[in-house]
Structures are given as C-alpha cells and as structure tokens.
Structure 1
C-alpha cells in the first residue's frame, strides 16, 4: 500500500512525464518558424545560463571526474536531442513520442550488450512487441520514413545516456551531473547553430514557448526527476515514465491537430505494452555501491 510520502514523488514524476509529452507537438510547431539547430541552441543556451547562475559556485568545486562524466553524458544527450528534433521535422509528434519511448526497452538490451546483464524472457518478448509496434508506426508502404528512422536513432542515444548515468549515479552528485549536462547541451547546440547566424523567436508567443522549453521542460523537469527518483524505487519511476508517449499522443491530438488513426492506436498500444512488460518484469535491486540492476527471473537470455 502506497503511503502519502510515496504518492508525492510519484505525482511529481508523473508531472515531469506529462511535461515531456507536451514538448513533442510544441517543438513540431516552433520548427515551422525557427531552424532546428537554432531552436536547440537558444533553448539550451538559456537553460545552461540559468544553471550557471544558480549552481556556478558549487560546480567550481566539483571534481574533474564529475566534469568529465557530466560532459560525456551531455554530449550523448545533445546529439540525441539534435537527431530527435530533426526527425520531428517530418515525423508526426504522436509517432515520435512512441518511438522515443522505446529507450525503456533499449536500455536493458544495451546493458546486456555492454555488461552481459541477463535479459529475462518477459523482456525478450517485450523487445519483439516493441519492434512490431515500431514497424506499424514507422512504415510508409515498404519503406521507413526518414523522420521515424532518425527518431529511433535518438531513442538508442537516450538509452545510452541512461546506461551512462546508471553507471555513475552512485558515484557522483546527481545535481552536479545534471547541471554539467545542461551546460554541455547549451555549448554544443549553441555552437551548432552559429553558422549562418542564429534565428531568434519572434513575438511574445515565440519567446514564451522558448522559455517554457528551456526552464519548465529543461531545468524544472531535471530537478523534479532527480528529487523524485531519490525517494521512490527505480522500477516504479520507470513504469511512470512509460506514459511519456501516451501524453505525447494526447497532446498532439488535442492541441496539435493530429488524428487518432488505427496505425497510431495499434502501434502505440504495442509499444506501451512492451515498455510496461519490460519494466514490470522481476529484477533485483541496485547494489549498494551503485552497480547496475540485474534481471531476477531465472529464465533469462544470457
């Protein structure tokens, strides 16, 4: 039975996931007036600047190892953001949300490849379900759309990012790692936008969207996620995070002018089912020294 203390961080993480889901149709809309790299550059430059103001002194005291790991994770996350946003230029926001959410499935697969962490049969079955759902969402006739393909690559990079943080979470300050990543995002995306000049948002609405993406969908979500995940089990957090593509589809249909099609419903249902199956499968807890979790089911692929 969940206590009130458990419910508060779970509700906070649900808010984080809903905010993430809202960004897909917002980004797709703003990309009609601002080039992709310019949008990312301005967004993360603002976020990075605010982080420096808020945590600048503490970051100066962070260790060299923390900076190296934060920058490495930030580079991976920056490339993932760039690839995902370019994919959104041609992929529907709802479809992009479901494909991006596959990082939940890809993470245990990468752990198996990199660290030989066994994969249970439920997770192996979830991979098959996810691949089927992805095919339904992505295929245009007998070819995969460019936007969907790029979005899948971003999901792989997001999974790599999660694996990196999983290895370092117990050894470094979570807030310092998050702050350094945001700074890396600001630098990489900002420099990428410089050639040819940077196009800034126009009007109050354009800047309001940019501030929302930088502060609410950037700094606030990172802070809430860090706080919430320090108070609830990682498994519970991951199950909540599987609702991100559902929120993405809901926002895209209600506010983004997209329609609920049989392909979106069928493919999205399979992907969400696969993510829930993967996260609800039995597993052991993280070791005391911050080691990676291993699948507890004895019937595993190893």
Structure 2
C-alpha cells in the first residue's frame, strides 16, 4: 500500500538517532513486504474486491480514530482534494489486488509495482509540464527492459497479473504527483485516513454487485484479513512515519526501496518461490532503475555517510 507521508524536518548528518531510524524503517519495509503474504493468503478465502474493501475500511476506521481532530479542521478544499486522491488511490488498489489475484510470482509482482517511483518524473513531464532530471530518462528504458525480461519469461505470452501491476504502478505515479499539488496543506494522517477509507467505501459496493460473497469465512482467512488491515496497513503506517521523523527524507527513501527485495525473499520462504535467471535479471534491472531515478538522493546520502 502506498500512503503519502509528510516529509519530516530535515535533520543534520549528526542526527542522534541514525541507527534507530534505519532499524525502524527496515522494520517498516519488512511489515510492508509481509503484507503481500497476508493479502495472498486472504485471497484463498475471499474474492479480491471484498478483501481489499474490508482491509482498507478496517484500517481507515483506525486511522480516523487517531486523526479525528485533524479531520474536523479540514476545510472544503482539503476535503475535496483528499477525496480526489482517495478515488485515485482506490483505482490503484483495485488494479493491484486484481494483479495479486492473477500473480504467479509475488516477488516479481513487487518489483513491477515499484516501477511507480520510476514513472513519477515521466508523469510529471507528460501531465504537469515539469522537466525531470536527465537521469529519469535513463532510468525509464532500463525499467522497461527489466519489465520485458519478466514479461517474456515464457515467450511472447504476457501474464494478466504483470500488466495489472504495471497499470497500478502508473496510477500510483499519478497519485504521487497529485499528492504534492492537490493536498499540500492537508495533514498526512488525516489525508491517509481519507484515502484508506475511500477504498472501502468505493470498492465494497462494487464487490457486492460483481462478486459472489462466501457464506462463511474460516478463522485462518479472517486472521490474514485482520493482519493485512491492522499490521500491514495501520501499524506499517505508524512505524514508517516514526522512522521518517528520526532521519532525513532522502535517507528514508533509500531504505524504503528495499520493500520489493524483502517481498521476494519472504515469498521464497513462505511459498517456495524461485526466480529463474531471466526473472532475476529483470528484477535487478528494475531495482537499478529505481536507484537511478533517485540518484540525487542516493548520491547525497553516500556523501553524508562518507563524511562521517
């Protein structure tokens, strides 16, 4: 799940909590990666739209309880912007969960989903007239070659899950751009509460119309759903926000790039997934594109670490 988090105040390289921040943020990426496992297990007993609607409605209720004071202070423009990005976030999550339903390899799906970060500057150029750094145009073809390696794993046969993950990544890229423009003055906790709740509000009616709901849900599946809502969504949000408050945004963004790697490793351990040489090359290229797209951040962090 992608939720906009406010960039905490920039700290100096002599921040007193660098190791603590790193450990907390690594924990956040591990929880996010575990969310892929929780979600896949939940789909064994629930249709995808019903699952994602329940997951985010539960998480939204918890987030609203913590952000109630902020929500009461939102003006009309704040609500309008929050609802707009919430609707877009809903579309992204619908594409993502349908991709997960069809996915044959979770690790591969996680790397494809991470393409959203690579696409952010491209979307900014196409839709908002911005001029991204030149390195963004280097990262883009590298990412597409990586996606081609994954898509052509079995010849010229593209899996639906791969394209759904790619579509979700594109919507996430648009969402990230809009977050910085439409809802700049909305507190991050309140914005996230609205975004997350919107998924449940919009998706559950669609699920009721188009999906067959099970007559009963087993306790294991119910446990996976609760883990997805309370651990992979709400707890992950608070851990990540706290970790970001202890370090600079650039340093935090480097650590958060680890999510697809953790997902691939957890999927290998839980589901016994293995990557072929071609899949490994494709994922490595996508991760390289992710690093290239944030090269200024990576360079600044490396300089900071080298100066210590």
TM-score if structure 2 supplies the norm length? 0.84
Instruction: Tell me which residue corresponds to 1:219.
Output: 234
Range with greater deviation from structure 2 (18-27 or 66-75): 18-27
Secondary structure at the residue paired with 1:144?
Answer: coil
Cα 1:111–1:129 shift into 2, 3 Å? same
Query: What is the CA-CA distance between 1:201 and the residue it aligns to?
Result: 7.1
Cα 1:124–1:63 shift into 2, 3 Å? same
Instruction: Tell me which residue corresponds to 1:290.
Output: none
CA RMSD in angstroms comes to 2.4
Q: 1:251-266 alignment to 2 at 5 Å?
A: 251-266=266-281
8 Å contact kept, 2:47–2:212: no
Query: What is the CA-CA distance between 1:230 and the residue it aligns to?
Result: 4.5
Q: 1:1-302 alignment to 2 at 5 Å?
A: 3-91=15-103, 92-139=105-152, 140-168=154-182, 170-195=184-209, 198-199=213-214, 202-281=217-296
Query: What is the CA-CA distance between 1:193 and the residue it aligns to?
Result: 1.9
Q: Distance in 2 between matches of 1:269 and 1:132?
A: 11
CA-to-partner distance for each residue in 1:179-238, whole Å, 9 max, x for gaps? 111221221122222225643873332222111111111112223333444453333232
Work out the number of aligned pairs and report it.
285
CA-to-partner distance for each residue in 1:78-128, whole Å, 9 max, x for gaps? 111111111122222111100001111011111222333323332221111
Q: Distance in 1 between matches of 2:297 and 2:242?
A: 25
Cα 1:75–1:20 shift into 2, 3 Å? same
8 Å contact kept, 1:74–1:182: yes
8 Å contact kept, 1:175–1:223: no
Q: Distance in 2 between matches of 1:190 and 1:89?
A: 17
Range with greater deviation from structure 2 (182-191 or 220-229): 220-229
Q: Distance in 2 between matches of 1:11 and 1:169?
A: 30
Q: Distance in 2 between matches of 1:187 and 1:54?
A: 19
8 Å contact kept, 2:112–2:169: yes
TM-score if structure 1 supplies the norm length? 0.85
Instruction: Tell me which residue corresponds to 1:300.
Output: none
Query: What is the CA-CA distance between 1:60 and the residue it aligns to?
Result: 2.6
Cα 1:248–1:53 shift into 2, 3 Å? same
Cα 1:172–1:231 shift into 2, 3 Å? farther
Instruction: Tell me which residue corresponds to 1:295.
Output: none
Q: Distance in 1 between matches of 2:216 and 2:37?
A: 17
Query: What is the CA-CA distance between 1:76 and the residue it aligns to?
Result: 1.1
Q: Distance in 1 between matches of 2:95 and 2:59?
A: 19
Secondary structure at the residue paired with 2:74?
Answer: coil
